[in-house]
Structure 1
Amino acid sequence: MSGNRSTGGASRNSPSNSRDKKEHILVIRLSAMGDVAMLVPVLRVVTATYPHLKITVLTRKFFAPLFKGIPNVEVYDADVTGVHAGVIGLGKLAQELRDLEITAVADMHDVLRSNILKTVFCFYGLTVKQINKGRTEKKELTAFNNKVFKQLRSTHQRYADVFSHLRYPINLEDHSYPEKQKLSPNTREITGKDLKKWVGIAPYAQHDSKVYPEDLLMQVLEDLEKDPNMKIFLFGGGKAEKQKLDQIAGNYKNTISLAGRLTFEEELALISNLDIMLSMDSGNAHLAAMYGIPVVSLWGVTHPFAGFKPFGQPMENSLFPDLHKYPAIPTSIYGNKVPVGYEEVMRTIAPQKVVEKIKNPLLPVGKT
């Protein structure tokens, strides 16, 4: 178990203040990073609206820093590849969580593991509410023929709906962004102390269909490098990405690769201090958005209509391929289905357009 309790934060009077202070909600969201990050602004509003409510988030220990600074929130490590693996391990996990005296469960994942936990929790007599992922309407959105191309409910709102079903309704418009986090000495040594505009670039995603072509990315970097008042930080993880980002950064004076140089907590603190983030449809977009940083997002065969637009960001900060040339977009929710002829859709997003948007983004909702 890894707790991440913090004090402070917004609170206000609400009808819930008279409720039993022992009410304790278990929130299940095991992965992936972007989906977990999208939970953060929702929990900020929940804890501000219901300050006496205790929340335990069941997720990977690695994700614990995401919830830093949210009052009355702790993280419980789901070791689903170790002691909590398999049906027996999940049964053990359910018993451990019951012993925390949880009073209700919000399943924000709705996968096999969380459904096994749901069965055990229902046997214990606990109320369990699950996210409605909108699978049918997402299938219609990604259909090649007879596509229903419309904005679906956001993932953030779907998370909020679960709390509403548990009788904790919230208004996401009440969200307040946290202050910038303090940078560690290690981070300061890497970033320097100049007062340049800090631009984050996260060029990778889980699927190649969501990655901007490298030669076009280099054109973006070359244009940004012409501005002496900009400092560019490249984000990525893993050995292969580190080697590539180190190589790219080596070609430019004001570009620094952060891959492998910071802890996850240090990386989050740096992201909170950025002036803007350029990201694919990937987790880094959501990490920046949860701090109120303007995010310019590039979309390949996916589309924000599926509900994964970064929190509070205006649609105008999202750049798309030529949808007239590629009318089947979105071809999938996660970018794992690429029809023949759609392999190079991102080449229709001009580097000049990306640079222009980085230099003149619309501010996200609530950003001052």
Structure 2
Amino acid sequence: MKPSLPAQPNHIAILRLSALGDVCNLVPTVRALQRQWPQARITWIIGKGEYSLLAGLSGVEFVVYDKSSGFKGMRALWRELENTRFDVLLHMQQAIRASVLSLGLKADVRVGYDKARAKDAQHRFTQRHIAPRSNPHVLESFMDFARLLGAEGGPLDWEMPVPPDAYDEARMISGEAPYLVINPCSNVRLRNFRNWSVEGYASVIEYAWVQHGLKSVLTGGGSSQEREIGEQIEGLCQPVSVINAIGQTSLKGLLALIDGAHAVIAPDTGPAHMANAMGTPTLGLYATTNPQRAAPYLWRDFAVNAYPEAVRTFLHKSVEDVSWGQRVRHADAMDLIKVDDVIAKLEALLAYSAEHPTTGTTDES
């Protein structure tokens, strides 16, 4: 017999360790739970890097798990929470490591994904499951957890915490001139293939400078690949049009830099969703992943969408014939994105944002 869901939860646990974009997409679910049960405690078990991004999120107690610590770190976390029992555990990480971690947590009821959306047999580690839904955005899948508990709909709200020193950090990088943020690289992973060409980025940077007087601030992590790509882009641009800040920002500093930008351009990577969370106009570049599932939620209409063409070209199928989460793992897929398409979307995005200043919230769809 399935355990009952609490009508009035007193202590809710969220298990979502990674990644940066996903934890940003999960924040509106937290806000929906807080609106429904303002007195409930919310404990979020989160990865170390992701915590550095969300630290200070109002009304949330964080328990940090270092994903590199393996089973030793799991046992330490279990000891930390051994005297804590949750009314409900929202198991929102589809990975076997997270499911094993969940076994050491005490909860009256464990909620996970429906069987169709569950990966790594995650549904076997949970007792109740969110309702099936066809072709949802990642953010909508997260919101389904709040709906299952009985939280009512409302505005999608982030209220991301950014301390004053992060804005000082951002101003040191950007100066006073108006600017775009371009985060050219996604995570450095095997067969990722989400990055656009350096020539494409350089062309857009020069266009933004000549036509709009907007400098472009390059951002990203400190990996050798990201630094090399940043240097290549910088080498193709006029020095006055670009600031290379790759590897030079903290995550909070990046949030502040994004907050001050006229717009953000990025492929399928965390900073695109950070920009979405800050309410900054965001232009996503998509060919290897489906933007209907993974683009910055508030700015899906402004994503460059070469995914259907990539599916046809490299998988020899139509979008309707592949699974919703299907990726196109081909090194040439992002070359389907053309400079003129990006410039056209940038013009539309800048025009729209000038006419409709965003607040970072929207009614739930």
TM-score, scaled to structure 2? 0.77
Counterparts of 1:90-101 in structure 2 under 5 Å? 90-101=74-85
Give the structure with the larger helix fraction.
2
Map of 2:196 onto structure 1: 212
> Alignment partner for residue 128 of structure 1, among 97, 110, 124?
110
Q: CA deviation at 1:151?
A: 6.6
Contact between 2:56 and 2:161, CA under 8 Å: does it hold in 1? no
Between the aligned partners of 1:103 and 1:223, the Cα distance in structure 2 is 54
1:367 correspondence with 2:358: yes
SS in 2 for 1:114: helix
Q: CA deviation at 1:227?
A: 3.0
What one-letter code is carried by the residue in structure 1 that aligns with 2:336?
T
> Alignment partner for residue 314 of structure 1, among 300, 311, 328?
300
1:104-127 deviations in Å (ceiling 9; x for gaps):
211110321222233333xx4531
- Structure 1 alignment gaps of length 5 or more: 1-17, 138-149
Map of 1:108 onto structure 2: 92
Map of 2:126 onto structure 1: none
Q: CA deviation at 1:180?
A: 9.1
Map of 2:16 onto structure 1: 29
1:299 correspondence with 2:268: no
Between the aligned partners of 1:63 and 1:129, the Cα distance in structure 2 is 22
Counterparts of 1:245-256 in structure 2 under 5 Å? 245-250=230-235, 251-252=237-238, 253-256=240-243
Between the aligned partners of 1:41 and 1:334, the Cα distance in structure 2 is 22
Distance verdict in 2 for CA 1:245–1:316, change over 3 Å: closer
1:280 correspondence with 2:267: yes
Contact between 1:176 and 1:366, CA under 8 Å: does it hold in 2? no
What one-letter code is carried by the residue in structure 2 that aligns with 1:317?
A
Map of 2:225 onto structure 1: 240
Map of 1:178 onto structure 2: 159
1:261 correspondence with 2:275: no
Map of 1:159 onto structure 2: 142
Q: CA deviation at 1:78?
A: 0.5
SS in 2 for 1:313: helix
1:123-146 deviations in Å (ceiling 9; x for gaps):
x45311113374489xxxxxxxxx
Between the aligned partners of 1:223 and 1:366, the Cα distance in structure 2 is 23
What one-letter code is carried by the residue in structure 2 that aligns with 1:50?
W
Q: CA deviation at 1:332?
A: 7.8
Between the aligned partners of 1:104 and 1:366, the Cα distance in structure 2 is 38
Map of 2:124 onto structure 1: none
Map of 1:60 onto structure 2: 47
Paired positions, count: 324
Between the aligned partners of 1:259 and 1:71, the Cα distance in structure 2 is 29
SS in 1 for 2:81: helix
- How large is the Cα RMSD of the aligned pairs? 3.2
SS in 1 for 2:278: coil
Contact between 2:219 and 2:247, CA under 8 Å: does it hold in 1? no
Q: CA deviation at 1:328?
A: 3.3
1:221-266 deviations in Å (ceiling 9; x for gaps):
2222213521211111113312331443353312111212121111
Q: CA deviation at 1:100?
A: 4.1
Map of 1:3 onto structure 2: none
Distance verdict in 2 for CA 1:366–1:73, change over 3 Å: farther
- Structure 2 alignment gaps of length 5 or more: 1-6, 120-132, 360-365
SS in 2 for 1:36: helix
Map of 2:125 onto structure 1: none
Distance verdict in 2 for CA 1:102–1:325, change over 3 Å: closer
Counterparts of 1:192-231 in structure 2 under 5 Å? 192-194=175-177, 196=178, 198-206=179-187, 207-227=191-211, 229-231=213-215
Map of 1:49 onto structure 2: 36
Contact between 1:296 and 1:317, CA under 8 Å: does it hold in 2? yes
- Percent identity reads 22
Between the aligned partners of 1:291 and 1:81, the Cα distance in structure 2 is 29
More displaced stretch, 316-325 vs 237-246: 316-325
More displaced stretch, 55-64 vs 110-119: 110-119
Contact between 1:41 and 1:175, CA under 8 Å: does it hold in 2? yes
SS in 1 for 2:97: helix
Map of 1:189 onto structure 2: 172
Between the aligned partners of 1:334 and 1:257, the Cα distance in structure 2 is 33
Distance verdict in 2 for CA 1:117–1:60, change over 3 Å: closer
Q: CA deviation at 1:27?
A: 0.7
1:70 correspondence with 2:57: yes
Distance verdict in 2 for CA 1:263–1:356, change over 3 Å: same
Contact between 1:204 and 1:280, CA under 8 Å: does it hold in 2? yes
